[in-house]
């Protein structure tokens, strides 16, 4: 009895730091924002609790387009990263040989530079007179009115570029965990490479794809850097609206209400995603 109690106590103690971290940095701030969202006032006279519930329908009506655009951009960027990242992870896992660590390091090397600087670099590359479009304009390969910046493609491309490692790494881990004897058995049974991939490799790597979707879609939905640097007035995302309400308009209740809506929607998405697809394999791949 005493041994079982000590084992349970050890398990609770091991998980206690994570619980405290979530409580301090997620649960408490969430309820503080929720309380602030229902207050009214301003910086001069202060804010007081008035349970101003109408702030939610008013803000959803005012910024509905930015919410939908954020989901669309994040979804498109997630699909792009999977289409780009899966072949790269597959090649490294199955054909990387002894240089797998080197290839993964090279993949991560650009990300030793800060997030904002990487995005600003793309602004120089994609500008009308930049390294990519400048020569094309000079040689009349594209029309003078053709531009990439301030379009939705620029924002989606920036999101896909910055979140690509969050897609490649979990897929690579899932591919690495596949027992190679299964593939050898398929070859011994004269299975074609396409059939082996579709019936063995792809199903067993799905937990990595699920983890990649979570690690890419969730932060991309609330991102505001790409839309601010690579986009224009017509590409603002919900993160840009929250930033403006907080830092420019000092509308703390409005910004808090929008952040509560976004956080709540993403939590529902993650819970439904985990409920439908299961969590054990996904979290195992993510932790690895």
Domains observed in the chain? 64-277 (1.10.3720.10)
pLDDT at position 135 is: 85
pLDDT above 80: residue 263 = yes
For the chain, the average pLDDT equals 89
Give the pLDDT of residue 111.
84
Taking the model in full, what pTM does it have?
Answer: 0.86
Alpha helices by DSSP H, listed for the chain, are 2-22, 28-37, 55-62, 64-95, 100-108, 115-126, 133-138, 152-176, 180-188, 193-196, 202-221, 225-229, 238-243, 252-277, 280-287
pLDDT at 284: 58
pLDDT at 114: 87
Q: According to the model, what pLDDT value does residue 252 have?
A: 94
Does the pLDDT of residue 11 top 70, yes or no?
yes
- Confidence class of residue 137 from pLDDT cuts 50, 70 and 90? confident
Which string of b and e fits 60-93 if b means at least 16 CB within 10 Å? eeebeebbebbbebbbbbbebbbeebbebbbebb
The string of pLDDT tens digits covering residues 155-178 is 999 999 999 999 999 999 999 999
Contact status, residue 205 vs residue 285, Cβ threshold 8 Å: no
Residue 272 pLDDT: 85
Q: What is the pLDDT of residue 247?
A: 92
Does the pLDDT value for residue 287 go beyond 90? Answer: no
pLDDT confidence tier of residue 128, bands split at 50, 70 and 90: confident
Collapse the DSSP code of 42 into the 3-class scheme (helix H, G, I; strand E, B; otherwise coil) and give the result.
Answer: strand
Centroid of chain to Cα 124: 24
- Higher pLDDT among residues 257 and 284, named by residue: 257
């Amino acid at each position: 009895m005493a041994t079982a109690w000590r084992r349970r106590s050890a398990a609770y103690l091991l998980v206690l730091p994570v619980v405290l971290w979530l409580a301090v940095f997620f649960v408490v701030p969430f309820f503080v924002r929720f309380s602030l969202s229902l207050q009214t006032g301003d910086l001069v006279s202060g804010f007081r609790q008035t349970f101003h519930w109408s702030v939610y329908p008013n803000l959803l009506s005012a910024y509905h387009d930015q919410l939908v655009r954020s989901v669309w951009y994040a979804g498109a960027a997630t699909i792009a990263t999977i289409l780009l990242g899966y072949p790269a992870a597959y090649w490294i896992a199955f054909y990387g040989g002894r240089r797998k660590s080197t290839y993964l390091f090279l993949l991560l090397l650009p990300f030793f530079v800060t997030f904002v600087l990487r995005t600003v670099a793309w602004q120089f590359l994609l500008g009308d007179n930049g390294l990519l479009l400048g020569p094309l304009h000079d040689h009349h390969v594209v029309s003078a009115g053709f531009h990439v910046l301030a379009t939705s493609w620029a924002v989606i491309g920036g999101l896909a570029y910055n979140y690509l490692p969050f897609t490649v790494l979990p897929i690579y881990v899932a591919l690495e965990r596949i027992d190679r004897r299964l593939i050898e058995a398929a070859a011994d049974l004269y299975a074609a490479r396409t059939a082996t991939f579709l019936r063995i490799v792809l199903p067993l790597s799905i937990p990595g794809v699920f983890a990649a979707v979570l690690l890419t879609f969730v932060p991309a939905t609330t991102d505001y850097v790409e839309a601010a640097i690579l986009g224009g007035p017509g590409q603002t995302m919900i993160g840009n609206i929250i930033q403006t309400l907080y830092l420019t308009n000092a509308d703390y209740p409005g910004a808090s209400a929008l952040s509560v809506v976004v956080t709540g929607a993403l939590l529902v998405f993650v819970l439904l995603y985990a409920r439908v697809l299961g969590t054990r394999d996904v979290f195992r791949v993510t932790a690895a």
